[in-house]
């Protein structure tokens, strides 16, 4: 299986996030996550690392109205130590200028104070999206049946209006848009947190089926999205499916939820499958509450393999450095139907 990478993502390494009160917390999304995944996969001859291609900026910019804001803010910072956070989040009724891509207007484009911009953020976020685009291109050209895009930053919380949740550009959505000219696309998000950005991108697009298995948003981020009654809108009603699960969820209940999604995908008959693969569902993850074990991901990978679709796997979350590499390897091994 091809493993696509592109960049030295240590260029983007935010230190602080501001969450649930005035105390500052260390960011869990560190560059070391990628290094741990690489270290494990490189010991296995089934995985071949290749470098992502460069794609036209417009393929990212056309989906993300805050593209110029992230670019301009990154360019405005003096050095790699600076971190920029919005300090005002205008609500409905605010007087908004037509062109609001100045750093001072960050609250228009960002949902939270956990997604700061640094000098190299734009460069690394664009490279992450290009990693997913490279995988999509290999599938569309029929050169590969399945590829793993080692994306960082993650993308699934970035939507068509705002970015947030450690995410700047939506990698899976960008890849799906690229694939749509060749057929319908199904997206399954298995990160512990609901893929609200991905869902919003395609809420009214009937040629994309979106789905997510995640911690119940009644008590987990992103709180305002991811409920089971969200089914899509307009002509696309029925093309979104959410499986919010309780704290303590183990493999049996998780696999049953996944089977319900896979059954709907079979009925949808897509040409391509995109998996937003987060591993913060592990029992030892510092910001998740599920109880999946390291070996469980092999079975989960096998369940996806049963669809027999050209598949792009995009890396999302997973924050325990001691297990993330093995979790990824087991998932990909299950997908390859090998232990």
Instruction: Write out the catalytic residue numbers.
Output: 157
CA–CA separation, 254 vs 70, rounded Å? Answer: 36
Closest CA to 152 of 125, 192, 113: 125
CA–CA separation, 145 vs 1, rounded Å? Answer: 9
Its sign, for the CA torsion 124, 34, 17, 214, is: positive
CA 123 to chain centre: 17
Alpha carbon of 39 to those of 35, 275, 294, 328: distances in Å? 6, 22, 17, 11
b/e per residue, 101-140, with b = 16+ CB within 10 A?
bebebbbbbbbbbbbbbbbbbbbbbbbbbbbbbbbbbbbb
CA–CA separation, 153 vs 31, rounded Å? Answer: 9
| Neighbouring residues of 293: CB distance < 8 A, sequence distance ≥ 6 | 251, 282, 283
Reading phi first (left if > 0) and then psi (alpha if -120 to 50, else beta), residue 337 is in left
Beta bridge partners of 311: 146, 273
Alpha carbon of 103 to those of 68, 87, 95: distances in Å? 10, 10, 17
Closest CA to 160 of 174, 146, 141: 174
CA–CA separation, 297 vs 258, rounded Å? Answer: 12
Planar angle of CA 176, 179, 181, nearest 5 degrees? 125
Alpha carbon of 208 to those of 29, 71, 74, 186, 188: distances in Å? 29, 29, 32, 6, 11
């Amino acid at each position: 299986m091809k493993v696509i990478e592109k960049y030295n993502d240590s260029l983007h390494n935010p230190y602080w996030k501001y969450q649930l009160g005035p105390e500052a917390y260390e960011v869990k999304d560190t560059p070391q996550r990628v290094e741990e995944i690489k270290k494990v996969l490189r010991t296995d001859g089934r995985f071949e690392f290749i470098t992502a291609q460069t794609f036209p900026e417009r393929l990212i910019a056309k989906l993300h109205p805050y593209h110029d804001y992230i670019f301009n803010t990154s360019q405005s910072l003096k050095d790699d130590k600076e971190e920029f956070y919005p300090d005002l989040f205008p609500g409905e009724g605010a007087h908004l200028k037509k062109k609001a891509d100045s750093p001072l207007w960050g609250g228009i484009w960002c949902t939270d104070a956990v997604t700061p911009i640094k000098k190299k953020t734009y460069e690394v976020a664009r490279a992450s999206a290009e990693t997913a685009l490279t995988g999509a291109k290999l599938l569309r050209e029929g050169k590969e049946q399945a590829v793993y895009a080692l994306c960082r930053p993650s993308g699934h919380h970035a939507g068509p209006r705002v970015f947030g949740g450690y995410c700047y550009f939506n990698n899976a959505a960008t890849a799906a848009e690229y694939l749509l000219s060749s057929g319908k696309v199904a997206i399954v998000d298995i990160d512990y947190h609901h893929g609200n950005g991905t869902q919003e991108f395609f809420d009214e697009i009937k040629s994309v089926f979106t789905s997510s298995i995640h911690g119940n948003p009644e008590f987990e981020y992103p709180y305002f999205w991811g409920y089971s009654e969200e089914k899509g809108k307009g002509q696309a009603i029925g093309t979104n499916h959410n499986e919010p699960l309780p704290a303590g969820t183990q493999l049996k209940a998780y696999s049953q939820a996944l089977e319900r999604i896979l059954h709907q995908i079979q009925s949808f008959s897509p040409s391509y499958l995109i998996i937003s693969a987060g591993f913060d569902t592990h029992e030892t993850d510092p910001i998740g509450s599920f109880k999946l074990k390291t070996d469980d991901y092999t079975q989960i990978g096998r369940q996806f393999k049963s669809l027999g679709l050209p598949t792009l796997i995009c890396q999302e979350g997973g924050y325990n450095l001691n297990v993330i590499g093995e979790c990824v390897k087991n998932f990909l091994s299950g997908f390859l139907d090998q232990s």
